[in-house]
């Protein structure tokens, strides 16, 4: 479907963004107040819990934050991620 994004693809996008800024899953977990398991679940597309905190923890530009959060909404549907 046009305008959709699979949850797996979104998770991979998070992982690429994290690696692009040189952070480990532990770094993101600590900065976002999440557990490493929660970060792992986000990056596998299995959960949307804490995605906004994850994206904020990356320390990316406001534009990149907006793009990642928009992608989250595409992947998780109406109401967006948790």
H/E/C letters for each residue in 20-61? HCCCCHHHHHHHHCCCHHHHHHHHCCCCCCCHHHHHHHCCCC
Q: Where are the domains of the chain?
A: 7-74
Rg, the chain, Cα only: 11
Residue-wise pLDDT tens digits, 2-39: 456 788 889 999 999 999 999 999 999 999 999 999 99
CA dist list (Å): 73 to 8, 30, 42, 60, 81: 13, 24, 13, 18, 6
pTM score, two decimals?
Answer: 0.86
Tokens of 35: 């557990």
The string of pLDDT tens digits covering residues 58-76 is: 999 999 999 999 888 888 8
**Quick one: fold of 7-74?**
434 Repressor (Amino-terminal Domain) (1.10.260)
């Amino acid at each position: 479907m046009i305008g959709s994004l699979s949850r797996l693809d979104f998770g991979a996008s998070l992982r690429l963004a994290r690696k692009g800024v040189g952070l480990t899953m532990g770094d993101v977990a600590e900065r976002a107040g999440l557990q490493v398991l929660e970060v792992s679940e986000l990056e596998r597309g299995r959960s949307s819990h804490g995605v906004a905190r994850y994206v904020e923890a990356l320390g990316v530009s406001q534009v990149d934050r907006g793009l990642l959060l928009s992608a989250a909404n595409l992947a998780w549907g109406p109401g967006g991620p948790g």
